[in-house]
Chain A
Amino acid sequence: MAMATVAHAGRDPHHVHGFDEFSAGQSGPAPKRIVTGYGFWIFLLSDMVMFSCFFAAYAVLSGQTAGGPTGAELFNLRNVAIQTSCLLLSSFACGMASIAANERSKFWFHIAMAVTGLLGLVFLILEIREFADLVARGYGPTRSAFLSAFFTLVGCHGLHVSAGILWLLTMMAQVYAKGFRADILRRFLCFALFWHALDIIWVAVFSVVYLLGSLG
Chain B
Amino acid sequence: MMFGKLSWAVIPFNQPLPLIAGAVVLVVILAVIAWIVIAGHLPYLWEEWITSVDHKRIGVMYVLLASVMLLRGFSDAIMMRAQQAIAFQSQGYLPPEHYNQIFSAHGTIMIFFVAMPFVIGLMNLVVPLQLGVRDVAFPTLNSVGFWLTATGALLVNLSLVIGEFARTGWLPYPPLSELTYSPGVGVDYYTWALQISGVGTLVAGINLVVTILKIRTWGMSYLRMPMFCWTSLASSLLIVAAFPILTATLAMLILDRYLGFHFFTNEAGGNMMMFMNLIWAWGHPEVYILILPAFGVFSEVVSTFSGKPLFGYRSMVLATMAICIISFMVWLHHFFTMGAGPDVNAIFGIASMIIAVPTGVKIYNWLFTMYGGRIRFTSPMLWSMGFMVTFIIGGLTGVLVAVPPADFLLHNSLFLVAHFHNVIIGGVLFGAFAGYTFWFPKAFGFTLHEGLGKAAFWCWLIGFYLAFFPLYAVGFLGMTRRMQHYDVAEWRPWLLLAGVGAVVILIGIIFQIAQLFVSIRDREKLRDYTGDPWDGRSLEWATASPPPVFNFAVLPVVTGPDAYWTMKVEAKEGVVKQPDYQPIEMPRNSPTGFICAFFATVMGFALIWQIWWMVIAGFLGAFATFVVFAWRDHDEYEIPADEVARIDRANIAERRNMISAAGAA
Contact = CB atoms under 8 A, between A and B. Distances in A.
A39 interface: yes
A22 B138 contact: no
A214 interface: no
A143 B582 contact: no
A133 B606 CA distance: 30
Nearest to B248: A53
A145 B636 contact: no
Contacts of A152: 251-252, 255, 261, 263
B97 interface: no
A64 interface: yes
Interface string B388-405: 000000000000000000
Contacts of B244: 46-47, 49-50, 53
Given A142-B259, A145-B271, A183-B635, A17 B582 contact: yes
Given A14-B636, A34-B214, A39-B206, A49 B245 contact: yes
Nearest to A43: B206
Interface residues of A, number: 48
B221 A26 contact: yes
A35 interface: yes
Contact of A174 (B242, B256, B630): B630
Interface string B257-279: 00111110101111100100010
Interface in A1-22: 13-14, 17, 21-22
A174 to B, nearest CB: 7
A57 B274 contact: yes
B554 to A, nearest CB: 10
B623 A28 contact: no
A141 interface: yes
A92 interface: no
A34 B216 CA distance: 13
Most chain B beta-carbon neighbours within 10 Å: one of A42, A141, A149 = A42
Band of interface residues on B:
35 or more
A117 B396 CA distance: 58
Contacts of A210: none
Contacts of B249: 53
B261 to A, nearest CB: 4
Nearest to B558: A26
Interface in B184-206: 202, 205-206
Contacts of A60: 271, 274
A141 B207 contact: no
A63 B582 CA distance: 65
Interface string A37-51: 011001101110110
A54 interface: yes
B210 A42 contact: yes
A50 B248 contact: yes
Interface in A111-136: none
A14 B215 CA distance: 13
Interface string B213-233: 111111111000000000000
A83 interface: no
Nearest to A174: B630
A143 B260 CA distance: 9
A42 B138 CA distance: 13
B261 A141 contact: yes
B631 interface: yes
A29 interface: yes
Given A39-B138, A166-B623, A61 B216 contact: no
A54 B248 contact: yes
Contacts of B262: 64, 66, 142, 144-145, 148
Interface string B23-45: 00000000000000000000000
A29 B214 contact: yes
Contacts of A56: 278
A140 to B, nearest CB: 9
A66 B202 contact: no
A84 interface: no
A74 interface: no
Contacts of B558: 26
A203 B274 CA distance: 25
B261 A42 contact: no
Contacts of B205: 46
B323 interface: no
Given A30-B215, A46-B244, A166-B623, A142 B206 contact: no
A39 B218 CA distance: 21
Most chain B beta-carbon neighbours within 10 Å: one of A49, A54, A65 = A49
Contacts of B270: 61, 64, 145, 148
A142 B137 contact: no
A135 to B, nearest CB: 12
A216 interface: no
Contacts of A35: 137, 210, 214-215
Contact of A29 (B207, B217, B635): B217
B641 to A, nearest CB: 11
A193 to B, nearest CB: 14
A149 B249 CA distance: 12
Given A29-B216, A64-B269, A145-B269, A50 B210 contact: no
B555 interface: yes
A13 to B, nearest CB: 8
A187 interface: yes
Given A29-B133, A30-B215, A39-B138, A146 B269 contact: yes
B245 A53 contact: yes
A22 B248 contact: no
Contacts of A17: 582
B549 to A, nearest CB: 17
Contacts of B202: 46
A53 B248 CA distance: 6
A28 B269 contact: no
A27 B636 CA distance: 23
B560 to A, nearest CB: 12
Contacts of A170: 627, 630
B247 A26 contact: no
B209 A42 contact: yes
A50 B244 CA distance: 5
> Nearest 7 pairs between A and B by C-beta?
A64-B269, A145-B269, A53-B248, A50-B244, A148-B261, A49-B244, A142-B260
Given A13-B585, A141-B261, 8 more contacts: A29-B215, A34-B214, A46-B206, A49-B245, A57-B252, A57-B263, A166-B623, A170-B630
23 contacts: A25-B221, A29-B217, A38-B214, A42-B209, A46-B243, A61-B263, A66-B268, A66-B269, A142-B261, A143-B268, A144-B262, A144-B269, A145-B262, A145-B268, A145-B269, A148-B256, A148-B270, A149-B263, A152-B263, A170-B627, A174-B630, A178-B633, A187-B630
Interface of A: 13-14, 17, 21-22, 25-30, 34-36, 38-39, 42-43, 45-47, 49-50, 53-54, 56-57, 60-61, 64-66, 141-146, 148-149, 151-152, 166, 170, 174, 178, 183, 187
